[in-house]
């Protein structure tokens, strides 16, 4: 094996373009620091920040071990604490993973706090024994430590090594944090027989990025098995070997990385935060027979179908088989039958809120328990749809809180969720998710509206768009008449369509109908409401309706000739949803949106119109959004209409000012009152 | 009829079970349990869940050992009651969960499933700012896809920590009714139970008996309809029947104490931390040097407190007795961190080195926390602060904060009882309260409105006392850009851009204050309709209308925050506009506060708005609620009053 490895021609194995990185020095030496480092003003972004990372430097390499390899990750981090809000940087939690006897091990932890006293640097050592382990769950734990004597102006520094049995993922790297980072650098040194896929995320450019080939050698112990098959590595009698050859060294670095801030209407932090993830792609000990770990979506799909917690779960009959047979006989139409199966599954099992891709519990047991993760619930759905005679397959996807899918990187960990896809002749796949009892079958929950999903079939599968089939649409109509004293009476009807209907049904379900109606009354403390009701709560194929009779008390004073009525403001949102003037990342709504309000106001004989707001129309560039406002008078009746349409699901940061302005204009327009005059 | 019906149901069920539902076979033929149909209608009203039966058993084994068993059967009627379908059992190094079992029944009372060991989850339950705590929970989840269902949980834990006996208050949430609940406490004769009964229905008092040589105390509650909390009412914990229990003598990891008096409890905590306030000669010399030129005692304390704030930080490490015993002062001196006990103890040691005597004090921290039940000595505390007696005003120090003003406790620990820890034992004392006059928010704004209705405002706001707590917290904890984001949320204007912002804390005065300066762009702040300009003169301080009441008022009105607000806003409007409608002045005086608002058009055309609102804190009779509601409604209306200007027709 030793000689064989030497023969590997690296370039051939790697098949990547290598461009040389100058073999630069490491950006930080642990424990080496001079007094100039304490001067905050030299660091970009330090002003107003609680602390700044001066340098964060990590290296991952693969080293030989007993009967295999380990990933060794080394990190040195140095942080300047600028004020007391930065003290929390001094308590560090290192996440560690362990599973089935394999583990990640934290080694060689060391740290210092440096304080500048006059010209002198005072150094205090971290007590490396004072670490605490917090078990999070069966597989995850945290090792925590806290640096001593931290004050405003301290520099804290710590270094550690993680030795890992898990080669499937290398340690990922975040260049960006909640505080600014002056320099962040990650290197990997990977021998040719391991190859990883890189999954970058975020919007920031690298300051340095490159690759070169370096010499590589590592020790390796192979167990000798005797004729009885007994491994003897444990007794130390294995074969010690030295592997040497070449490795690919990669480097990524960013300078002056701004602090990361979450903004409203985002998918998940991870889509925006600058970082890089890794997933094992190939193991190549023999160039003629590379072992493909992941490579194509087709292979990922067919392997998943053999997985105990995925494909194997789908084999055999559904625990709801008998009921599925009944539905098969009852419904000839495929969509209607599919909807009935969704209802059947939902009646037996509730969603426990866990977004999962693997069904860790057998489906029969899932039905007994009456609750399940998304994977268990929707694989049960697939199986039951099949038993009802439908052509159903699982569809993998990544929820909005898990992050965007990069279809060009065939890596399974991009997914975290599964729904069911049913082939309907002549139509695109019908996508079904049993986690949302309040959604119309075929309407995916909003968390699933995230690019594309992967239909998993034995013949390779395909991508299916997760684009919403419906909009988020809210229509409000009111018919009012003004009485001689200036009070308004009439009725209002709110219509929630598509995703607005789903959101509103969820609100009703979460608080209860009574509390929902109470909250509605609370939104309009001045109004007297009567006969308020919610309609179509159960009729998922129709809009959710809220209807009420209402009286708006008069704002007129006896003496005044004029009556001022901000009618539109009564029925529209008073706040601009985009509070902040600045935007760093795209606005991501998930759905197209429309908000329409239409009010009819009939005037009594003793009031005449003195002044009406002017009609207005505002367009976003390229027709990506529109706001329309109109007032018309027909006889003694005024017709007011306001319509806001957003025709894209995502707006880029440069489009943000116009989007915010669109709402600013609409809110201002809605505030404009009608001016009426008493005529007697 | 009903018998026959039941019989046929269960036999059909048995058949189904035999065919495909193997694990359920055992239940076939069992009698129906807890059918929903047997819940009295009055208990379903307004309820999301019904506690069918709850039996709590506290067995005191010894001064340092207790066992607690809970059997709870709850019917969950709808989704809002779902949290009753889950059992959460906390434990830590001193407390072990013996078992957690559960079975869930459908509406008719048939077994749906029984919890298996593998179904029970185990989670860490550690608070945010903690380096290490050993708090964990076991969780059993029996929630079902169909309502109603009935979850039946039994669990037991045993503990070597007898400092706290659980309070018995089975109906401790809104919208849950109770059919029947019992509490039974057994103790050895030498450790009689201490208890405090509150709001028990008539005839609900304790029944005492003896079983062998053990003392037995028993209570029960029957048929309590669901409650809905009214707005601005006392916390639910102060509305429902409760029995508080406490030991006479207790023991934690070999440390024995007497809880029959505040003196005894305080003595235990004092002794636990004795000899932990030693400092090295170097630190002592450092402190002596620090205060050598200061003779005034209060200033000496201030100097030491500032040193503490600049050289330590809050990091919590709590393990076993470590929940009550502080790290030694010498440890804090070398690591520079500690929890509330460690930092209070360290500060006490520093003050001693400066020649000032002080005492640690246990306190129940948190805004709107239930008052200490002073007649019932027991551990009602969760925090520690430091008390420095002075000839005149006693100084209180919050030692876990690096930014709190010297001597200020705020809404976190102010205005309540604390247990002072002295060599003689515990002593209940009150911490300072902050009255309406000192919790101020004084604002001055200048606004220029242009001929399109757009506004530009410069605003200066001085907040003091309790009204600056949140601001001061924000300034010390958040970076500049996040502070500005919070300001957006606080302004509550339909559309605004904050062009400039700054916050200046002042911690030197008798009470802390924060000055906020903002420059705001206010697009279309005034509405223009042809000839008219509409303007709401109350720019930034509109009191929301009161939360709507639920039927006739039952509970007292509770006001928490006494405050004084004063706003002056001046608007410059385009020259050719003249007032058409100016809101009339409003002046209100009630037991709940006083309000004044006035709009004036000054000679140079400037519009001046002045508003003043002062409200006290306190408890008011339920009968007064209507008047309070009316007061709030009138303020809300006045705050939204609009001014109309008109320009001549051109």
Same domain for A396 and A518? Answer: no
Closest CA to B269 of B195, B207, B323: B323
**Predicted local distance difference test score (pLDDT) of residue A404:** 86
| Residue B241 near residue B198 (C-beta atoms within 8 A) | yes
Same domain for A324 and A175? Answer: no
A209 in reach of chain B (CB within 8 A): no
Of the candidates A292, A321, A337, which is a domain's last residue?
A292
In B, minimum Cα distance to A657 occurs at B497
**Predicted local distance difference test score (pLDDT) of residue A192:** 86
Reading the block at residue A637, the tokens are 């009746």
What whole-number distance in Å separates Cα of residue B639 and Cα of residue B612?
11
- Residues in B closer than 8 angstroms to A145, CB to CB, are 131
What whole-number distance in Å separates Cα of residue A618 and Cα of residue A643?
10
The kind and range of the H/E element at A618 are strand A616-619
DSSP string, B88-157: EEEEBTTEEEEEEEEEEE-TTS-EEEE--GGG-EEEE---TTEEEE--EEEEEE---SSSSEEEEEEEEE
- Total Cβ atoms within 10 A of residue A248: 23
**Predicted local distance difference test score (pLDDT) of residue A653:** 92
| CATH code assigned at A558 | 2.60.120.1130
Same domain for A308 and A350? Answer: yes
B142-185 tens-digit pLDDT: 999 889 999 999 999 999 999 999 999 999 999 999 999 999 99
CA atoms within 13 A on the CB side of B66: 25
pLDDT beyond 70 at B28? no
Residue A43 lies in a domain: no
Contacts 24+ apart (CB under 8 A), B588-594: B588/B631, B588/B634, B588/B635, B590/B627, B590/B628, B590/B631, B591/B620, B591/B624, B591/B627, B592/B557, B592/B559, B592/B616, B592/B620, B592/B627, B592/B628, B592/B631, B593/B631
B588-631 tens-digit pLDDT: 999 999 999 999 999 999 999 999 999 999 999 999 999 999 99
**Predicted local distance difference test score (pLDDT) of residue B2:** 30
Distances in Å between the Cα of B257 and the Cα atoms of A316, A670, B61, B326, B374 are 64, 68, 16, 17, 19
Section B570-597 average pLDDT: 95
DSSP string, B250-263: EEETTEEEE-SSHH
| CATH code assigned at A72 | 2.60.40.3140
Confidence of residue B22 (pLDDT cuts 50, 70, 90): very low
In B, minimum Cα distance to A149 occurs at B336
CA of B250 to nearest chain A CA: how many angstroms apart? 29
Tell me the three-class secondary structure of A239-281, residue by residue: EEEEEEEEEEEEEEEEEEECCCCCCCCCCCHHHHCCEEEEEEE
**Predicted local distance difference test score (pLDDT) of residue A467:** 87
Name the burial class of residue A586, with classes exposed (0-12), middle (13-18) and buried (19+) by CB atoms within 10 angstroms of its CB. Answer: buried
| Residue A341 near residue A330 (C-beta atoms within 8 A) | no
**Predicted local distance difference test score (pLDDT) of residue A282:** 85
CATH numbers and ranges of domains, chain B: 1-30 (no CATH), 32-252 (2.60.40.3140), 261-430 (3.10.620.30), 436-646 (2.60.120.1130)
Same domain for A434 and A482? Answer: no
Chain A 109-128, residues with CB within 8 Å of chain B CB atoms: 124, 127
pLDDT beyond 60 at B132? yes
Residue A36 lies in a domain: no
Beta bridge partners of A519: none
Q: Indicate the pairing of strand B586-590 with strand B316-318.
A: unpaired
Burial state string for A655-675 with b = 16 or more CB within 10 A and e = fewer than 16: bbeebbbbbbbbbbbbbbbbb
Instruction: Give which of A124, A141, A668 to mutate to test B binding, by max B Cβ within 10 Å.
Output: A668
Instruction: Give which of B121, B126, B130, B131 to mutate to test A binding, by max A Cβ within 10 Å.
Output: B131
B590 in reach of chain A (CB within 8 A): no
Name the burial class of residue A7, with classes exposed (0-12), middle (13-18) and buried (19+) by CB atoms within 10 angstroms of its CB. Answer: exposed
List all residues 6 or more positions away from A165 whose beta carbon is below 8 Å from its beta carbon. Answer: A68, A70, A102, A103, A104
Section B239-248 average pLDDT: 97
DSSP state of B468: G
Residue A37 lies in a domain: no
In A, minimum Cα distance to B135 occurs at A134
CA of B167 to nearest chain A CA: how many angstroms apart? 29
pTM of this structure:
0.86
3-state secondary structure of A381: helix
Instruction: Give which of A125, A126, A132, A262 to mutate to test B binding, by max B Cβ within 10 Å.
Output: A132
Closest CA to A509 of A441, A438, A440, A432: A438
Residue A408 lies in a domain: yes
**Predicted local distance difference test score (pLDDT) of residue B13:** 31
Q: Do B143 and A350 touch (CB under 8 A)?
A: yes
Name the burial class of residue B117, with classes exposed (0-12), middle (13-18) and buried (19+) by CB atoms within 10 angstroms of its CB. Answer: exposed
| Residue A286 near residue A192 (C-beta atoms within 8 A) | no
| Residue B592 near residue B621 (C-beta atoms within 8 A) | no
Residue A39 lies in a domain: no
- Total Cβ atoms within 10 A of residue B223: 12
Chain B 470-509, residues with CB within 8 Å of chain A CB atoms: 476-482, 485, 488-489, 492, 494-498
Q: Do A134 and B534 touch (CB under 8 A)?
A: no
B421-455 tens-digit pLDDT: 999 999 999 999 999 999 999 999 999 999 999 99
- Residues in A closer than 8 angstroms to B403, CB to CB, are 84
What whole-number distance in Å separates Cα of residue A271 and Cα of residue A450?
11
Confidence of residue B202 (pLDDT cuts 50, 70, 90): very high
B504-540 tens-digit pLDDT: 999 988 899 999 999 999 999 999 888 999 999 999 9
Residue A233 lies in a domain: yes
Instruction: Give which of B494, B546, B630, B646 to mutate to test A binding, by max A Cβ within 10 Å.
Output: B494
| Residue A5 near residue A245 (C-beta atoms within 8 A) | yes
Q: Sign of torsion, CA A439 A441 A445 A451?
A: negative
**Predicted local distance difference test score (pLDDT) of residue A158:** 98
Nearest to A613 among B145, B529, B633 (CB): B529
- In the block, which residue shows the tokens 């049904």? A505
**Predicted local distance difference test score (pLDDT) of residue B4:** 29
A560 in reach of chain B (CB within 8 A): yes
3-state secondary structure of B249: strand
Instruction: Give which of A138, A528, A672, A674 to mutate to test B binding, by max B Cβ within 10 Å.
Output: A672
CA of A317 to nearest chain B CA: how many angstroms apart? 12
- In the block, which residue shows the tokens 């804190």? B617
Same domain for A314 and A390? Answer: yes
What ipTM does this complex have?
Answer: 0.83
Q: Do A667 and B123 touch (CB under 8 A)?
A: no
pLDDT beyond 90 at B373? yes
3-state secondary structure of B593: strand
- Total Cβ atoms within 10 A of residue A367: 21
Domain that holds residue A580: 472-678
Same domain for A335 and A235? Answer: no
List all residues 6 or more positions away from A222 whose beta carbon is below 8 Å from its beta carbon. Answer: A1, A67, A233, A238, A239, A241
**Predicted local distance difference test score (pLDDT) of residue B319:** 72
pLDDT beyond 60 at B296? yes
Same domain for A514 and A458? Answer: no
Same domain for A213 and A255? Answer: yes
- Total Cβ atoms within 10 A of residue A181: 26
Q: Do A352 and B310 touch (CB under 8 A)?
A: no
How many structural domains compose chain A?
3
Residue A139 lies in a domain: yes
Chain A 343-362, residues with CB within 8 Å of chain B CB atoms: 346-350, 352
What whole-number distance in Å separates Cα of residue A255 and Cα of residue A175?
9
Closest CA to B525 of B605, B456, B610, B607: B456
List all residues 6 or more positions away from A3 whose beta carbon is below 8 Å from its beta carbon. Answer: none
What whole-number distance in Å separates Cα of residue A447 and Cα of residue A499?
11
Confidence of residue B20 (pLDDT cuts 50, 70, 90): very low
| Rounded (10°) angle between helices B281-291 and B340-353 | 70
Instruction: Measure CA of the first residue to CA of the last residue in chain A; give whole Å.
Output: 106
CA of B476 to nearest chain A CA: how many angstroms apart? 6
Task: Estimate to the nearest angstrom the gap between the alpha carbon of B554 and the chain centroid.
Answer: 23
Provide the Cα torsion B216, B222, B224, B225; round to 10°.
160
pLDDT beyond 80 at B340? yes
Name the burial class of residue A552, with classes exposed (0-12), middle (13-18) and buried (19+) by CB atoms within 10 angstroms of its CB. Answer: buried
The kind and range of the H/E element at B588 are strand B586-590
Sites in chain A below the pLDDT cut of 50? 1-23, 226-236
The pLDDT mean for chain B works out to 91
Same domain for A315 and A348? Answer: yes
| CATH code assigned at A457 | 3.10.620.30
Nearest to B145 among A350, A509, A574 (CB): A350
Same domain for A316 and A280? Answer: no
pLDDT beyond 80 at B250? yes
Nearest to B313 among A87, A664, A674 (CB): A87
CA of A434 to nearest chain B CA: how many angstroms apart? 12
**Predicted local distance difference test score (pLDDT) of residue A267:** 83
Instruction: Give which of A52, A369, A658, A669 to mutate to test B binding, by max B Cβ within 10 Å.
Output: A369
List all residues 6 or more positions away from B61 whose beta carbon is below 8 Å from its beta carbon. Answer: B67, B188
- In the block, which residue shows the tokens 């989670």? B123
3-state helix, strand, coil in chain A (%, to 5): 20, 40, 40
What whole-number distance in Å separates Cα of residue A434 and Cα of residue A447?
13
**Predicted local distance difference test score (pLDDT) of residue B458:** 98
Residue A38 lies in a domain: no
**Predicted local distance difference test score (pLDDT) of residue A183:** 97
Tell me the three-class secondary structure of B386-431, residue by residue: EEECCCCCCEEECCCCCCCCCCCCHHHHCCCEEEEEECCEEEEEEC
What whole-number distance in Å separates Cα of residue A107 and Cα of residue A163?
7
Of the candidates A250, A272, A292, which is a domain's last residue?
A292
Same domain for A508 and A525? Answer: yes
Reading the block at residue A554, the tokens are 């008069």
Same domain for A428 and A479? Answer: no
Closest CA to A349 of A330, A328, A377, A381: A377
**Predicted local distance difference test score (pLDDT) of residue A224:** 58
* B480 vs A28 pLDDT, higher one: A28
Reading the block at residue B108, the tokens are 């008719």
Closest CA to B198 of B178, B225, B172, B180: B172
- Residues in B closer than 8 angstroms to A674, CB to CB, are 529
B315 in reach of chain A (CB within 8 A): yes
Of the candidates A432, A465, A498, which is a domain's last residue?
A465
Contacts 24+ apart (CB under 8 A), A332-338: A334/A390, A334/A422, A334/A424, A334/A425, A334/A430, A335/A424, A335/A430, A335/A441, A335/A442, A337/A388, A337/A389, A337/A390, A338/A385, A338/A388, A338/A390, A338/A392, A338/A422, A338/A430, A338/A432, A338/A441
Q: Do A564 and B21 touch (CB under 8 A)?
A: no
Nearest to A511 among B80, B481, B488 (CB): B80
Q: Do A525 and B104 touch (CB under 8 A)?
A: no
DSSP state of B236: G
- In the block, which residue shows the tokens 């509103």? A504
């Amino acid at each position: 094996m030793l000689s064989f490895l030497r023969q590997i021609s690296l370039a051939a194995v790697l098949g990547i373009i290598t461009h040389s990185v100058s073999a630069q020095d490491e950006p930080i030496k642990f424990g080496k620091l001079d007094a100039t480092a304490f001067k905050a003003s030299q660091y970009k972004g330090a002003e107003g920040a609680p602390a700044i990372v001066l340098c964060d430097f990590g290296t991952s390499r693969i080293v030989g071990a007993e009967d295999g390899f380990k990933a060794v990750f080394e990190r040195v981090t140095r942080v300047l604490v600028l004020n007391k809000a930065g003290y929390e940087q001094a308590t560090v939690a290192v996440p560690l993973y362990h599973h089935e006897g394999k583990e990640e091990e934290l080694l060689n932890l060391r740290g210092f706090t440096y304080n500048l006293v006059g010209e002198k640097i005072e150094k205090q050592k971290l007590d490396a024994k004072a670490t605490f382990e917090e078990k999070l769950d069966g597989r995850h734990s945290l090792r925590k430590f806290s640096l001593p004597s931290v004050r405003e102006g301290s520099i804290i520094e710590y270094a550690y090594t993680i030795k890992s049995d898990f080669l499937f993922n290398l340690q990922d790297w975040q260049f960006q944090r909640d505080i600014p980072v002056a320099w962040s650098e990650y290197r990997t040194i990977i021998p040719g027989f391991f190859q990883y896929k890189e999954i970058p995320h975020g919007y920031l450019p690298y300051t340095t990025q490159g690759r070169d080939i370096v010499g590589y050698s590592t020790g390796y112990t192979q167990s000798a098995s005797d004729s009885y098959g007994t491994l003897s590595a444990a007794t130390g009698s294995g074969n010690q070997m030295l592997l040497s050859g070449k490795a690919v060294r990669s480097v990524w670095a960013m300078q002056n990385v701004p602090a990361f801030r979450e903004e409203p209407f985002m998918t998940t932090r991870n889509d925006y935060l600058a970082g890089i993830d890794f997933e094992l792609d190939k193991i190549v000990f023999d160039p003629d027979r590379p072992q493909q770990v992941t490579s194509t979506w087709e292979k990922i799909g067919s392997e998943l179908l053999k997985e105990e917690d995925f494909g194997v779960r789908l084999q055999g009959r559904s625990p709801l088989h008998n009921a599925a047979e009944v539905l098969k006989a009852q419904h000839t139409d495929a969509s209607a039958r599919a909807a009935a199966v969704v209802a059947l599954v939902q009646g037996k099992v509730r969603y426990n809120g866990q977004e999962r891709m693997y069904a860790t519990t057998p489906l029969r047991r899932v039905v007994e328990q009456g609750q399940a993760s998304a994977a268990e619930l929707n694989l049960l759905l697939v199986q039951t749809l099949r038993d009802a005679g439908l052509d159903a397959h699982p569809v993998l996807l990544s929820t909005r809180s898990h992050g965007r899918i990069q279809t060009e990187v065939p890596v399974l960990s991009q997914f975290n969720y599964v729904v069911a896809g049913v082939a309907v002749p002549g139509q695109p796949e019908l996508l079904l998710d049993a986690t949302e009892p309040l959604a119309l079958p075929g309407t995916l929950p909003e968390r699933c509206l995230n690019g594309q999903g992967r239909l998993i079939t034995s013949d390779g599968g395909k991508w299916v768009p997760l684009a919403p089939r419906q909009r988020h649409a809210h229509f409000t109509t009111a018919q009012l008449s003004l009485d001689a004293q200036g009070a308004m009476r009439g009725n209002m009807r709110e219509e929630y369509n598509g995703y607005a209907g789903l959101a509103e049904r969820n609100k009703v379900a979460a608080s209860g109908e009574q509390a929902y109606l109470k909250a509605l009354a609370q939104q309009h403390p001045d109004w007297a409401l009567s006969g308020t009701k919610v309609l179509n709560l159960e009729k998922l194929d129709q809009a959710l309706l809220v209807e009420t009779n209402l009286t708006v008390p008069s704002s007129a004073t006896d003496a005044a000739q004029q009556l001022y009525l901000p009618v539109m403001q009564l029925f529209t949102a008073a706040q601009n949803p985009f509070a902040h003037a600045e935007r760093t990342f795209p606005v991501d709504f998930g759905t197209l949106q429309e908000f329409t309000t239409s009010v009819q106001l009939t005037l009594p004989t003793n009031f005449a119109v003195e002044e009406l707001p002017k009609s207005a129309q505002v367009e976003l560039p390229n027709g990506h959004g529109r706001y329309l406002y109109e007032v018309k008078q027909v006889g003694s009746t005024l017709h007011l209409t306001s319509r806001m349409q957003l025709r894209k699901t995502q707006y880029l940061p440069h489009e943000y000012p116009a989007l915010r302005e669109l709402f600013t204009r609409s809110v201002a327009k809605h505030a404009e009152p009608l001016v009426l005059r008493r005529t007697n | 009829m009903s018998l026959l019906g039941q019989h046929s149901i269960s036999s059909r069920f048995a058949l189904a079970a035999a065919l495909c539902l193997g694990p359920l076979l055992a239940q076939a033929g069992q009698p129906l349990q807890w059918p929903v149909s047997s819940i009295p209608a009055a208990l379903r009203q307004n309820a999301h869940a019904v506690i069918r039966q709850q039996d709590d058993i506290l067995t005191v084994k010894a001064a340092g050992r207790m066992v607690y068993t809970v059997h709870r059967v709850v019917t969950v009627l709808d989704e809002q009651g779902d949290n009753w379908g889950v059992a959460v059992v906390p434990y830590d190094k001193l407390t072990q969960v013996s078992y957690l079992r559960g079975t869930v029944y459908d509406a008719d009372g048939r077994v749906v499933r029984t919890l298996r060991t593998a179904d029970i989850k185990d989670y860490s339950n550690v608070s945010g700012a903690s380096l290490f705590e050993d708090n964990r929970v076991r969780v059993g989840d029996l929630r079902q896809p169909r309502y109603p269902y009935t979850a039946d949980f039994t669990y037991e834990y045993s503990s070597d920590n007898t400092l706290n006996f659980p309070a018995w208050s089975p109906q401790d949430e809104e919208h849950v009714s109770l059919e029947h609940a019992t509490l039974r406490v057994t103790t050895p004769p030498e450790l009689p139970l201490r208890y405090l009964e509150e709001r028990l229905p008539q005839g609900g008092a304790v029944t005492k008996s003896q079983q062998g040589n053990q003392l037995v105390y028993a209570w029960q509650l029957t048929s309590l309809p669901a409650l809905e909390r009214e707005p601005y009412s006392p916390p639910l914990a102060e509305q429902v029947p409760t029995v508080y229990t406490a030991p006479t003598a207790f023991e934690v990891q070999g440390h024995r104490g007497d809880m029959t008096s505040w003196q005894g409890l305080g003595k235990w905590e004092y002794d636990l931390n004795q000899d932990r306030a030693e400092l090295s000669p170097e630190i002592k010399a450092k402190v002596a040097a620090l205060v050598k030129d200061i003779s005034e005692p209060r200033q000496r304390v201030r100097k030491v407190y500032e040193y503490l704030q600049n050289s330590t930080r809050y990091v919590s490490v709590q393990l076993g007795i470590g929940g009550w015993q502080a790290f030694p002062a010498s440890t804090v001196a070398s690591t520079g961190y500690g929890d509330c006990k460690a930092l209070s103890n360290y500060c006490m040691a520093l003050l001693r080195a400066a020649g000032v005597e002080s005492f640690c004090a246990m306190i129940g921290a948190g805004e709107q926390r239930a008052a200490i039940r002073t007649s019932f000595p027991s551990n009602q505390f969760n925090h520690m602060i430091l008390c420095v007696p002075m000839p005149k005003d006693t100084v209180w120090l919050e030692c876990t904060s690096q930014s709190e003003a010297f001597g200020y406790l705020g809404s976190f620990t102010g205005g309540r009882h604390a247990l002072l820890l002295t060599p003689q034992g515990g002593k209940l004392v009150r911490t300072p309260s902050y009255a309406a006059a000192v919790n101020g928010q004084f604002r001055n704004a200048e606004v220029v409105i242009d001929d399109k209705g757009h506004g530009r405002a410069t605003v200066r706001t001085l907040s003091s006392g309790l009204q600056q707590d949140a601001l001061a917290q924000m300034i010390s904890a958040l970076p500049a850009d996040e502070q500005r984001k919070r300001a957006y949320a606080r302004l509550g204007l339909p559309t605004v851009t904050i062009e400039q912002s700054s916050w200046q804390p002042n911690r030197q005065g008798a009470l802390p204050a924060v000055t906020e300066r903002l420059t705001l762009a206010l697009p279309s702040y005034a509405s223009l309709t042809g000839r008219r300009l509409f303007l709401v003169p109350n720019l930034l301080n509109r009191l929301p209308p009161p939360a709507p009441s639920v039927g006739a008022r039952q509970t007292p009105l509770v006001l928490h925050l006494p405050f004084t607000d004063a706003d002056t806003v001046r608007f410059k409007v385009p020259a050719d506009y003249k007032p058409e409608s100016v809101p009339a002045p409003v002046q209100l005086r009630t037991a709940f506060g006083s309000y004044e608002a006035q709009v004036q058009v000054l000679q140079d055309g400037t519009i001046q708005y002045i508003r003043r609102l002062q409200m006290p804190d306190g408890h008011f009779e339920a009968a007064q609620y209507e008047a309070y509601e009316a007061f709030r409604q009138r303020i809300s209306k006045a705050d939204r009053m609009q001014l109309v200007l008109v320009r001549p027709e051109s």
